[in-house]
Structure 1
Amino acid sequence: MLIEDDPTVRTVVADFLRAAGLDLSEYGDGTTAAAAVRERIPDLLIVDRMLPGKSGDELCREVRGYSDVPIMMLTALSAVDQRIEGLEHGADDYVAKPFSLRELQLRAEALLRRRATVGAAAMIVHGDFRIDPVHRRAWAHEREITLTAREYELFLYLLANPGRDIGRDELLREVWGWGFGDPSTVTVHVRRLREKIEPDPRFPCHLKTVWGAGYRFFVEATC
């Protein structure tokens, strides 16, 4: 689903993605789109931040209240802290305007592909953490947690690589599927994941920062 209020941008993007083989619905305002998402959740949302009726940020927060559908945000705001805001509202990825249509297509396909293929296997259990890859459900300390698509993939990768230093570049490559990107994207998702798996996110016991190296994940608490 593409939600973009500029009719020219919406038409160009929609035509390009349809030509690439994607089935697409289009909306020009956040209010109408929000109702459509509730009626039928798509496989991917591509959302402009600045929308009439209901902003992209508001729409993102609302959808995150009931779905982990991947969300890609389009933004004309180029400052890093402004882009980070979109991620903090629950977006999995962002593309800054003006953008390459080919890059947008590749990022959209990467989100769709990862959602479809990440781990259809048996239950993964490590200490107090569990993941059901078939139904994409996760538990921490005997409590089920709600993860966005990207948070889920990040958590899955960390569980598969406990006890070793993992750099932001590696996470961008292995979890996001990017050859390059803004490391602050990783920082925001790590912070959001800590809020869901740590007893006290201010003092992480499991997902620790290793200065100069990235992060290290511990299955057993190290507080």
Structure 2
Amino acid sequence: MTRVLVVEDEPQIVRALRINLKARGYEVEAAPDGRTALDLAARHRPDVVILDLGLPDMDGGQVIRGLRGWLSVPIIVLSARQDSTDKVEALDAGADDYVTKPFGMDELLARLRAAVRRATPAEEAAVIATQDFTIDLAAKRVTRQGTDIRLTPTEWHVLEVLVRHAGRLVSQRQLLREVWGPAYEHETNYLRVYLAQLRRKLEADPAHPRHLITEPGMGYRFEP
């Protein structure tokens, strides 16, 4: 289910969006201000963000830049500001689309679907097969010798980030930021715990891993 974070301080608009999005199978969370939005995004990692620029505690552009520091999901601005300067600033800050109020719900939903499609890379459907286990990114499934391996949501998220950077070093800070959010960039003990759990479940010899490699002091690397 696609998770949508609605950042909007007008209750009527939030209600309309919530009703229409839920009716089409989206999971919806709402934030009335920028700080709440950044906190929800860090804790629940939305798949797409709908964002008003005129928020009570900070400008929407600040929220965009805050999200873009660690999150790559589509951001659709929904704003009463119609000046081209505002649009350019929002897009330069990292927004993917800009819809002006008043807006048509059908148009907004179409733009939302398009943004989600563009954000889904072709390799989403890829199946990565190693000598010891197989990862189906689209199905979010891992099998070992034909048997499903149960991973917790956090274990899967750690594995997914590493797999999407296969063969490349993922720094500790980047991995913490992508999985837990920017407030956890220094919690390196989290990584030791979860990598150990993944190795126990996936590696033939967890003490001498072939696929989930530690680069001491730097980060981790997935080798197919």
Instruction: Please indicate the TM-score interval, normalised by the length of the shorter structure.
Output: 0.5 to 0.7
Matched, 1:33 2:37: yes
Q: Equivalences for 1:10-159 in 2 at 5 Å? A: 10-120=14-124, 135=164
Q: Counterparts of 1:22 and 1:39 in 2: how far apart (Å)?
A: 18
Percent of aligned positions that are identical: 34
Matched, 1:7 2:8: no
- Give the superposition deviation at 1:19: 1.1
Q: Counterparts of 1:22 and 1:87 in 2: how far apart (Å)?
A: 25
Larger Rg: 2
SS in 2 for 1:25: strand
- Give the superposition deviation at 1:135: 2.5
Instruction: Report the equivalent of 1:128.
Output: none
- Give the superposition deviation at 1:54: 2.6
Moved >3 Å (runs of 4+): 117-122
SS in 2 for 1:24: strand
Kindly provide the amino acid, as one letter, of the partner of residue 164 in structure 2: H
| Contact kept? 1:29, 1:53, Cα under 8 Å | yes
- Give the superposition deviation at 1:136: 7.6
Q: Unaligned 5+ residue runs, structure 2?
A: 128-162, 169-173, 175-224
Closer, same or farther: CA 136–11 of 1 in aligned 2, 3 Å? farther
RMSD: 2.9
- Give the superposition deviation at 1:21: 1.6
Task: Report how many residues are paired.
Answer: 133
| Contact kept? 1:47, 1:73, Cα under 8 Å | yes
Q: TM-score, normalised by structure 1?
A: 0.53
